[in-house]
Structure 1
Amino acid sequence: MSKIFWYFPSTGHGENHGFQDPLLQYFQGDHENYIAREAIQNAVDARLDYDKPVSVVFEKTAILNSSFPGYSELLDKLHRCLVFVKGQDKAEPFFKSAIALLKGKNLPVLKISDFNTRGLSGSDDDVDGNWHRLVRAAGTSSLKGAGGGSFGIGKGAPIVASALRTVFYSSINDKDELVFQGKARLVSHHDDERDVRQGIGFYGVEGYKALRNDALVPDFFKRSERGTDIYVMGYKTGADWKGKLIKSVLHNFWLAIYNGDLEVSIRDGSELTITKSNLRKYLDDYDAEDAKFYFEAVTNWTKDFHVELKHLGKVSLYVRKQDNYPSRVMMARKPRMLVAEKQYRSLREPYAAVFICDNDKGNALLRDLEPPAHDKWNRDLADNGKIIMRELDEFIKEKLKSMGEDITSEPQDIPGLARYLPDNEEREYLSLTEAEAVDPTELNTDEETGHEIGAEKELASADIETIVRKGIVTTKENKPVGPTPPVGPGNGPSGRATGPEEGTKEGARIKTSAISFRSFVQKGKAGFEYHLAITGREDCEGAIRLVAVGDEGSYPVELKSVAEEKSGTSYDTSESMIKGLSIENGKTLKLIVLLASPKKYALAIENYEG
């Protein structure tokens, strides 16, 4: 009988595998968001019967450590990896923690199951088969055709969420065959003969072959119908994992659910299922305002457009005008998953809109413009990218312009704006990887103005001492900054700007990378009320600076009052700074802001990383 064990091939005197794995770098941080996006996208792409929705189930469960396949062998590998990375800041603590976890009694597991899907076909050596492409290959998609994925990098998302960097795959394919295998992405290590082994290893027959005999597959990992299960071993989870996962599903896949393509269940003792019939209820229950704007645009549009474009083919745009809407367009293609959000200023009235390109030709063109995380369309990623994006932008601008008075000739794709717009109270729903501080010199206008945009101004210098803490950067002035700049063009509604803050808890600046932000404005009794929702990506305390975003850049605003939405608790302010904020990781702070100016502005948080 063939042996079943963990196998890590020799490097053969080649490169060692370090802890900073390039496959995993895209999915650090918000595990629930990335897992939901990648797992559901793959499931929708593998749909079997198009008369029924795909079903994806996320189940938090546990396994006895003694029942872990190849327990003793993997524990030995972890010890060897620990020796190999001794003294490395991130790697050594990781392997110490992994060893302690595996030595415990029970191991937390996230089981991700899909139904009404094709399963993973092909043998271990079939390089074109979906099994090989998902489990064995690197840098290739597990699916072909005009689906959602293209890089195949998304297979790294479940591994990042594992405190052991270990997952198991179990699938019933088109031959009604149960296929099972484990995979770990650790680091290179020495064997007993001091040969250096690769960091990527497999659990299977003779180490590298999948188990294809039902009797050999442990009961915990068996499936009963066609489709695929992914087991995230040692699932790294927080207390609010379920809420975060639900919000990610709603934010990213509400359109697929509404279209009847998808149903999603979350199990953790009890079961919750999101379907087309109860979608609106969950959008309300989980305070998914950003998704609700777009949901209303599709279900109760002011106007809809369906056009055949030269390059992208048939596309649709649904637009709803309403006072408190964010004036943004959600972008989606064939999987009907959120790719990005973009702000256009071609329509004066507030609105929300949804752009959909779900034909095979256009879907393939747009897919080629996406980075591995599938969170934006980058015109520089394909030779025809500029042509494609120009066609898309012109279509949206023209249709928005037709619905009201035009106020600018260009969409305001503001540098760095994605950092401050909503991201599902998630992660990274809007890409942060290339966000920059708002720079007025990068913005365009067709009108002459009485001052030079981006003109340098002489300010007194200040020596700044920087103290880095978790989630914040505190700045202390060692010398006076100098007098307040005079009132004049380009300095915003108040004509004033503030200098560095004192290094107190209230005055410390919160890093913008530590939070996500969204806002909308309503007309109240006291004038325009700005509703802000600030979500922590980590625990942070301190201050933020608000700016008004316009066609010519960003400008300070003078604050009249700031209060918490529910409790009415007031916050100290200093011109454009809100002080004394305390935001917990994964929690959302909701504020109501009144400005000194009676005018209406688009607000953002000034970029600050210390």
Structure 2
Amino acid sequence: MNTYWNFPAATGGLINSINNAGLETFRGNALESLTREVCQNSLDAVKDTKSPVIVEFSQFQMNTNDFPEKEELVEVFHKCEATWSGRNKKSEDFIENALNLLGTDKINFLRISDFNTKGLEGARDGEIGSPWSSLVKEAGSSNKGESSGGSFGIGKSAPFLNSNLRTLFYSSNDITGYESYIGVANIMSFEKNENQITLGNGYFTHNEKSLAIPGSFQLDPQFIRKETGTDIYVSAFEPVGDWESEVKKSVLHNFFITIFQKKLVVRINDFEITHENLGQLIHDLESSEENEILKNYFNLLNSDKTIKLKYPAKQYKNGISFEEGEAELLLFKGEDLNRRVLMTRKTGMRLFEQKNISGSISFTGILMITGNHMNNIFKQMENPAHNEWAPERYEKDPKLAKKIYSDLRSYIRKTVNELFQEKITDSMDAVGLSDFLPNKNLLSDSGKNKTESLTSSIKSLVSKKKKEDPLKKTVTKGEQEQEIEEQLKGEFGITPTGDQGGNGTGQHSGGGDAGGGSTETGENNKLDENDSGDQDKKRERKPSKKPVQMQQRYACVDKNDGKYRFMVTPQKSLTSGRLVFKVMGEQSDYDLPIKKAATDNSEVLVEKYTANTIYLQSLKANKSFMLDVEIDYSDYCVMEVELYEN
């Protein structure tokens, strides 16, 4: 059978460079993304649910001359070179590296094979919507069912990012017994013939339709497929560092639940991860915050003290309903736990940690959505990277999705508080409060209640009523309780800025003695030849982006008016500095608007305050000062404050 590389062209079609939107989604960590996406896809294609899916990662090397139709691919890269020369530096660098790799004697491959899976159905005729077509030919599509893990169809891009040729080979033996293989080069458009520009993707095939080549495929001399499943061959696999350790780490952190449930076994060369050695492997991980949290999650799965609760039945409009037990909540209370709940869906893959549940209770938890109806709804809220639920992604009814997600969060918070919250008396001693409060009464108005206080370990959010403003929309108490994030983003003008900010108390790391302003090299600091130069002119110092270490505590003086009192102790003397305030949201932090700021220290000057930042002058190292702050938010909140040098 005649096989060749086919790069389809289309007159007037889209021209693609080496940059690819699907690839950019996974660029942050190529190997982890590869592991997550491949294992999830294999779990979605399980053949016998009573047995585990097996995913195997194996590296091998082959003679470059044995690369399928190598000379044709070399010619393609030369045409790419002619097309993009002087037009796109990134494309030029990629082409140069690809030609160098194809010019060596040996080339490295990574083979990823799965077992107890259905293989790529639809390879025989390439029917649109079939698993084969969805993986190989279609862009941004997925035919997975309600219980599957993926839904966007761009996870298939992750393996390409691990190939220095952006070229993969797929081999399959499906449940009908049909064996086939095909190559896919996800590179860039190039001028094929005069006035003919390719679309950027090419296929190692046997016809102009770019269908799979019938028959078995053997690139790895040590491997022959004897059962149903799929093999992915990543060409020019040149990872930086210890790829086996990276894949192992990704498997342990992302699929420990699935492996614990005996649904997945992973082999990395000669090493195997199963439910039998999972606990020991997690126990042996080096000490780090990330690994300690994983160990706590695993202990939660194993402990006889774990509380397991079924999510109650829910009924919504448009016929959407969840039966009791479509999700299960596992909770465990103990010392020094992360106070978060790990969210997962049917495959058991780690998605994200739900935070802002309780700041006063030390607990950890896992929520597992297992029911088909609930899994389908939350799958449609999920972003392509599978690390966030965003109700606006549910195209049918974003408001309904928002209500569904809000109900789930409320259930988690309520359950944690009901199970673990200790009963408290009307008054209590605030340990450490005397360290930063003056001997005077905390409040200037002696007639007010003085027992209301807050430290950074208290993260209760209490609904508020704001004075009516005829020009602003009034939000009711009930709405605030259900939609805290909408309140933060809407009524108070707080905008999301991602995972930034410091801690409520204690040491702030990241700055240290380095502190200081910074200047940049390059064009920004060149001298102007035409500038005579003023001798009196001082070089402007750019504000530092590195936090300066400090100690700080705060107490709530007047909740309704949003008044707080801070005790701040910088670890470095600053001529000019700034305090940046944020409040923790559900999945990200938000800027916290400052209304007023004043200090009791005559040596420390409040220069100005704008948005969420207070600008200060004359800060002395290890010398504490009091700062009174009024914020545009009258609920209790957890502030994250960082100090920077100007």
- Relative to the length of structure 2, the TM-score reads 0.66
Mapped partners of 1:143, 1:37: distance in 2: 16
Structure 2 stretches lacking a partner, 5+ long: 315-320, 423-457, 463-480, 487-495, 505-515, 523-537, 555-563, 577-611, 615-620, 624-637
Give the C-alpha shift of residue 500 in structure 1: 8.2
1:296 aligns with 2:299: yes
Please give the per-residue CA displacement for 1:486-535, whole angstroms capped at 9, x wherever unaligned: 99966855354878899xxxxxxxxxxxxxxxxxxxxxxxxxxxxxxxxx
Please give the per-residue CA displacement for 1:72-100, whole angstroms capped at 9, x wherever unaligned: 11111112112222232322111111110
The residue aligned with 1:181 is 182
- Relative to the length of structure 1, the TM-score reads 0.69
Please give the per-residue CA displacement for 1:287-334, whole angstroms capped at 9, x wherever unaligned: 332321111122214422122231554211111122121111100010
Mapped partners of 2:348, 2:391: distance in 1: 20
Give the C-alpha shift of residue 604 in structure 1: 8.0
The residue aligned with 1:402 is 418
Give the C-alpha shift of residue 438 in structure 1: 4.1
Q: Structure 1 residue aligned with 2:310, among 306, 309, 313?
A: 306
Give the C-alpha shift of residue 115 in structure 1: 0.4
1:437 aligns with 2:439: no
For 1:106-505, what aligned pairs fall within 5 Å after superposition? 106-122=106-122, 123-141=124-142, 143-193=144-194, 195-206=196-207, 208-214=210-216, 220=221, 223-267=225-269, 271-287=270-286, 288-300=291-303, 301-310=305-314, 311-313=321-323, 314-346=326-358, 348-382=360-394, 383=398, 384-405=400-421, 408-409=460-461, 435-438=498-501, 465-467=519-521, 478=540, 493-496=567-570
Q: Which residue identity does 1:20 align to in structure 2?
A: N
8 Å Cα contact 1:59/1:112 also seen in 2: yes
Mapped partners of 2:191, 2:151: distance in 1: 35
Query: In the superposition, relative to structure 1, how do residues 218 and 258 fare at CA in structure 2: closer, same or farther (>3 Å)?
Result: closer
8 Å Cα contact 1:18/1:188 also seen in 2: yes
1:73 aligns with 2:76: no
8 Å Cα contact 2:44/2:149 also seen in 1: yes
Query: In the superposition, relative to structure 1, how do residues 212 and 488 fare at CA in structure 2: closer, same or farther (>3 Å)?
Result: closer
Query: In the superposition, relative to structure 1, how do residues 437 and 607 fare at CA in structure 2: closer, same or farther (>3 Å)?
Result: farther
Mapped partners of 1:365, 1:155: distance in 2: 22
8 Å Cα contact 2:126/2:211 also seen in 1: no
Q: Which moved more, 1:492-501 or 1:355-364?
A: 492-501
Mapped partners of 2:574, 2:165: distance in 1: 43
8 Å Cα contact 2:502/2:641 also seen in 1: no
8 Å Cα contact 1:180/1:217 also seen in 2: no
Which structure shows the bigger proportion of residues in strand conformation?
Answer: 1
Give the C-alpha shift of residue 161 in structure 1: 0.8
Percent identity of equivalent pairs: 28
Q: Which residue identity does 2:134 align to in structure 1?
A: R
For 1:522-561, what aligned pairs fall within 5 Å after superposition? none
8 Å Cα contact 1:312/1:357 also seen in 2: no
Give the C-alpha shift of residue 349 in structure 1: 2.8
Give the C-alpha shift of residue 10 in structure 1: 0.9
Give the C-alpha shift of residue 465 in structure 1: 2.9
Q: Provide the secondary structure at the position in 2 that maps to 1:30.
A: helix
8 Å Cα contact 2:25/2:385 also seen in 1: yes
Q: Which residue identity does 2:384 align to in structure 1?
A: P
Mapped partners of 1:486, 1:352: distance in 2: 27
Q: Which moved more, 1:277-286 or 1:140-149?
A: 140-149
Mapped partners of 1:103, 1:605: distance in 2: 55
Q: Provide the secondary structure at the position in 1 that maps to 2:89.
A: coil
8 Å Cα contact 1:124/1:132 also seen in 2: no
8 Å Cα contact 2:551/2:568 also seen in 1: no
Query: In the superposition, relative to structure 1, how do residues 22 and 323 fare at CA in structure 2: closer, same or farther (>3 Å)?
Result: same
Query: In the superposition, relative to structure 1, how do residues 286 and 495 fare at CA in structure 2: closer, same or farther (>3 Å)?
Result: closer
The residue aligned with 1:99 is 99
Mapped partners of 1:603, 1:196: distance in 2: 55
Mapped partners of 2:542, 2:81: distance in 1: 50
For 1:568-579, what aligned pairs fall within 5 Å after superposition? none
Structure 1 stretches lacking a partner, 5+ long: 416-432, 444-461, 469-475, 503-552, 556-573, 577-601
Query: In the superposition, relative to structure 1, how do residues 485 and 261 fare at CA in structure 2: closer, same or farther (>3 Å)?
Result: closer
Q: Which residue identity does 1:298 align to in structure 2?
A: L
8 Å Cα contact 2:550/2:643 also seen in 1: no
Q: Which residue identity does 2:178 align to in structure 1?
A: E
Please give the per-residue CA displacement for 1:372-420, whole angstroms capped at 9, x wherever unaligned: 11111112211222112101101100111012238514799999xxxxx
From the CA coordinates, give the structure whose radius of gyration is larger. 2
8 Å Cα contact 1:346/1:409 also seen in 2: no
Mapped partners of 1:26, 1:575: distance in 2: 44
Mapped partners of 2:225, 2:22: distance in 1: 28
The two structures, once aligned, show a CA RMSD in angstroms of 3.9
8 Å Cα contact 1:327/1:351 also seen in 2: yes
8 Å Cα contact 1:134/1:142 also seen in 2: no
Give the C-alpha shift of residue 128 in structure 1: 2.6
8 Å Cα contact 1:121/1:173 also seen in 2: yes
